[in-house]
Chains A and B, each alone.
Chain A
């Protein structure tokens, strides 16, 4: 099932399939390891704040707007 990253709950994992959104944000995400094929695990996702996730051994927080543009295959 392919869903936006923002739809994953805490503890859920997914494989990045595609990233929509502007060139700038996309480059940022990619250089941080969030590129197609990467496995992400959501650590905290709360409707009131940014989404915390880990990818490739590092943890990041991104805004919900951006997270909804990252498409993942839910595992």
Chain B
């Protein structure tokens, strides 16, 4: 059995960079069983021994409120790891040691404390004495600068030695005021008679009970019964009365006092903190007006960058795929097989894969903004605006990601700690036009509105973004009601990101896109090809596709669209790029669409394509992150919305004489 090493720590301490340098490229991402938190695992090899490194979700405490915290806590509680590497940020030791104390209180004796960003701390005049720290905490301590690669070898050595029983920890645990300690003792005594004693550290359970941790209350209720639990809780309330403060606050502040006492032994601050450049920058970037201007500037530049480099690459890939088809065709003797491969597989998968550069660059730009530390500031600026529509400022990040692809954007809602915000953000996410829909919009706008191309494209983007906000408001008012969650976000230090982490991160996110092309779209392309070739070729009136189109035509007529558009939209459910490529299959070339539509129809087609039904991969992602019920809800509301908008725009357009 491979030994397991778990990485734990606050968000923004550089856990991911450490994870990457420990495991190199030998890592993969999956889900924790039963929940939708990403599970990052990788292999560390040291002196011929292999270790499985698990990156736990970043958490501020082990008081389980969000799924992330629950996952991290359960992993530690069940002692699933042979070694726990707890990563701390040297520039925010006090707060980070709070989590350390919570971890040590669980009763773990296999913890290594890794102090990261030690170089940054030195610059700020924070001196830490490693020997003293080891003595006081009772656990091995390693100094790191993960970005510079300092200390990684030493960390590997300590992991190896601890995993093999050569290194031990005798951790210190916080002591509280006598009155609190008396409560802890009392509860421990009551619990010691139960089977809980075999599985948990009773002191930890007692402290969590004092903090009124819901999960622990439920656990104790099962083992003690309500009568004894009530007795304990009444006791706690009495202590709270005397302190005139909630018990969780009493424990927290005494824990900080304890940490403060420890820190005097090993930390020296050599100069007073003055206002930093970050403070000044934050004053501008989080300002309600200047910040908003900066935000528009940043995102304008981001899209500019993505399109300036992505579009030429996309054209190049598109050409390569079509030349590949042309080259391949004469080499295949069987006519059916040739048609399947060239018109079905290469045309379909190729048109999707050619968007990969755009998607990758978009994720690269967004990962860059995140790693620099800007995304959190953007969330602060957007908080006030998003709140008006029932969303949280934090929803802004997944919504921006959706411009690249809705699938990773839906998954990115995991970063929201409030369940209601998370669901709401997920449900309106597919209304944000992804790059697949961009391909449809830009094709139609270019073909029909040569001079007003940009204006047309912008109007469709603006409409869908406005509708996303409007739907968020409607859904939060009438469908998932509930209290607004408080807004709390950490503004990480502005940092120069590491290229390796950046590329790895963007690759991980855009990988979904290739996976989609290789699975769903491959199958979809074959299906489209089959439906439009059998039992008679399309155009002759006999194909299945045409019959399907004719069936839906009375409905699409309401928005001025004929059976060909109906077929295209149907196939567009597989992937939005299909809306245009279907015309290619029907007519032999995509350009043929120009002769058979008037501009108004093309506009409605572009609008409806943007608003109706998310692609299959997105529906799948919503289902995986929530439930079938919410996936179905999204499909239905979007069909209704797209139909309504399509019909209205078509009729108004007719009246206005377009």
Contact A31 B487, beta carbon cutoff 8 Å: no
Q: How far is the CA of A26 from the CA of B489 in the complex (A)?
A: 14
Contact A60 B488, beta carbon cutoff 8 Å: yes
Residue of A nearest to B98 (CB): A31
Least Cβ–Cβ distance between B380 and chain A, in angstroms: 4
Taking CB atoms and an 8 Å cut-off, the chain A residues in 41-62 that contact chain B are 43-44, 46, 48-50, 52, 54-62
Residue of B nearest to A44 (CB): B283
Task: Collect the chain A residues with CB atoms within 8 Å of residue B95's CB.
Answer: 31-33, 55-58
The reply to whether the CB of A35 lies closer than 8 angstroms to some CB of chain B is yes
Task: Collect the chain A residues with CB atoms within 8 Å of residue B246's CB.
Answer: 23, 26
Give which listed residue, A35, A56, A59, A62, contacts B253 with CB less than 8 A: A35
Q: How far is the CA of A57 from the CA of B249 in the complex (A)?
A: 21
The reply to whether the CB of B257 lies closer than 8 angstroms to some CB of chain A is yes
The reply to whether the CB of B475 lies closer than 8 angstroms to some CB of chain A is no
Contact A52 B491, beta carbon cutoff 8 Å: yes
Give which listed residue, A27, A28, A43, A62, contacts B279 with CB less than 8 A: A43
Task: Collect the chain A residues with CB atoms within 8 Å of residue B248's CB.
Answer: 23, 26-27, 30
Contact A28 B65, beta carbon cutoff 8 Å: yes
Q: How far is the CA of A61 from the CA of B180 in the complex (A)?
A: 32
Residue of B nearest to A57 (CB): B92
Task: Collect the chain A residues with CB atoms within 8 Å of residue B286's CB.
Answer: 44, 49-50, 52, 61
Interface centre among B92, B98, B487 (most CB of A within 10 A): B487
Taking CB atoms and an 8 Å cut-off, the chain B residues in 248-287 that contact chain A are 248-249, 252-253, 256-257, 273, 278-279, 282-283, 286-287
Q: How far is the CA of A61 from the CA of B256 in the complex (A)?
A: 21
Q: How far is the CA of A54 from the CA of B291 in the complex (A)?
A: 19
Task: Collect the chain B residues with CB atoms within 8 Å of residue A43's CB.
Answer: 279, 282-283
Q: How far is the CA of A63 from the CA of B138 in the complex (A)?
A: 39
The reply to whether the CB of B516 lies closer than 8 angstroms to some CB of chain A is no
Interface string of B221-246 (1 = CB under 8 A from A): 00000000000000000000000011
Task: Collect the chain A residues with CB atoms within 8 Å of residue B60's CB.
Answer: 28, 31-32
Interface range for B: 35 or more
Give which listed residue, B256, B283, B380, B383, contacts A37 with CB less than 8 A: B256
If the complex has contacts A52-B286, A62-B487, A63-B383, are A36 and B99 also in contact, measured as CB distance less than 8 A?
no
Give which listed residue, A26, A33, A60, contacts B94 with CB less than 8 A: A33
Task: Collect the chain A residues with CB atoms within 8 Å of residue B212's CB.
Answer: 23
Contact B245 A27, beta carbon cutoff 8 Å: no
Contact A25 B383, beta carbon cutoff 8 Å: no
Q: How far is the CA of A26 from the CA of B393 in the complex (A)?
A: 20
Contact A56 B486, beta carbon cutoff 8 Å: no
Interface string of A15-28 (1 = CB under 8 A from B): 00011011111111
The reply to whether the CB of B182 lies closer than 8 angstroms to some CB of chain A is no
The reply to whether the CB of B515 lies closer than 8 angstroms to some CB of chain A is no
Least Cβ–Cβ distance between B268 and chain A, in angstroms: 14
Q: How far is the CA of A52 from the CA of B286 in the complex (A)?
A: 8
Contact A57 B93, beta carbon cutoff 8 Å: yes
Task: Collect the chain B residues with CB atoms within 8 Å of residue A33's CB.
Answer: 92, 94-95, 98, 256
Task: Collect the chain A residues with CB atoms within 8 Å of residue B89's CB.
Answer: 58
Contact B249 A49, beta carbon cutoff 8 Å: no
Least Cβ–Cβ distance between B573 and chain A, in angstroms: 39
If the complex has contacts A61-B487, A61-B489, A61-B491, are A26 and B249 also in contact, measured as CB distance less than 8 A?
yes
The reply to whether the CB of A10 lies closer than 8 angstroms to some CB of chain B is yes
The reply to whether the CB of A9 lies closer than 8 angstroms to some CB of chain B is no
The reply to whether the CB of B525 lies closer than 8 angstroms to some CB of chain A is no
Contact A30 B486, beta carbon cutoff 8 Å: no
Least Cβ–Cβ distance between A73 and chain B, in angstroms: 14
Q: How far is the CA of A21 from the CA of B249 in the complex (A)?
A: 12
Contact B252 A30, beta carbon cutoff 8 Å: yes
Least Cβ–Cβ distance between A6 and chain B, in angstroms: 13
- A interface majority secondary structure: mixed
Contact A31 B99, beta carbon cutoff 8 Å: yes
Q: How far is the CA of A22 from the CA of B61 in the complex (A)?
A: 17
Q: How far is the CA of A67 from the CA of B60 in the complex (A)?
A: 19
The reply to whether the CB of A75 lies closer than 8 angstroms to some CB of chain B is no
Least Cβ–Cβ distance between A8 and chain B, in angstroms: 15
If the complex has contacts A43-B283, A44-B283, A63-B487, are A50 and B393 also in contact, measured as CB distance less than 8 A?
yes
Interface string of B416-460 (1 = CB under 8 A from A): 010000000000000000000000000000000000000000000
Q: How far is the CA of A44 from the CA of B257 in the complex (A)?
A: 28
Residue of A nearest to B487 (CB): A63
The reply to whether the CB of B381 lies closer than 8 angstroms to some CB of chain A is yes
Q: How far is the CA of A50 from the CA of B380 in the complex (A)?
A: 7
Task: Collect the chain B residues with CB atoms within 8 Å of residue A63's CB.
Answer: 383, 486-488
The reply to whether the CB of A2 lies closer than 8 angstroms to some CB of chain B is no
If the complex has contacts A25-B488, A56-B92, are A49 and B384 also in contact, measured as CB distance less than 8 A?
yes
Residue of A nearest to B255 (CB): A35
Task: Collect the chain B residues with CB atoms within 8 Å of residue A30's CB.
Answer: 61, 248-249, 252
The reply to whether the CB of B16 lies closer than 8 angstroms to some CB of chain A is no
Residue of A nearest to B245 (CB): A18
Task: Collect the chain B residues with CB atoms within 8 Å of residue A28's CB.
Answer: 60, 65, 417, 486, 488
Task: Collect the chain A residues with CB atoms within 8 Å of residue B288's CB.
Answer: 46, 48-49
Least Cβ–Cβ distance between B121 and chain A, in angstroms: 9
Least Cβ–Cβ distance between B605 and chain A, in angstroms: 40
Contact A29 B278, beta carbon cutoff 8 Å: no
Contact A59 B257, beta carbon cutoff 8 Å: no
Residue of A nearest to B94 (CB): A56
Least Cβ–Cβ distance between B401 and chain A, in angstroms: 20
Task: Collect the chain A residues with CB atoms within 8 Å of residue B383's CB.
Answer: 49-50, 61, 63
Q: How far is the CA of A48 from the CA of B44 in the complex (A)?
A: 49
25 A-B pairs within 8 Å (CB atoms) are namely A10-B283, A22-B486, A26-B246, A26-B248, A27-B65, A31-B60, A31-B99, A36-B245, A36-B249, A44-B283, A48-B384, A49-B384, A50-B286, A50-B380, A57-B91, A57-B93, A57-B94, A57-B273, A58-B89, A58-B92, A59-B282, A60-B491, A61-B379, A62-B488, A63-B383
Q: Which residues from chain B sit less than 8 Å from chain A, CB to CB? A: 60-61, 63, 65, 89, 91-95, 98-99, 211-212, 245-246, 248-249, 252-253, 256-257, 273, 278-279, 282-283, 286-288, 291, 376, 379-381, 383-384, 393, 417, 486-491
Minimum-distance CB pairs A-B, first 10: A31-B61, A63-B487, A33-B95, A31-B60, A48-B288, A57-B92, A36-B253, A30-B252, A59-B491, A56-B94
Given contacts A33-B92, A43-B282, 6 further A-B contacts (CB under 8 A): A31-B99, A31-B252, A32-B488, A38-B256, A61-B383, A65-B486
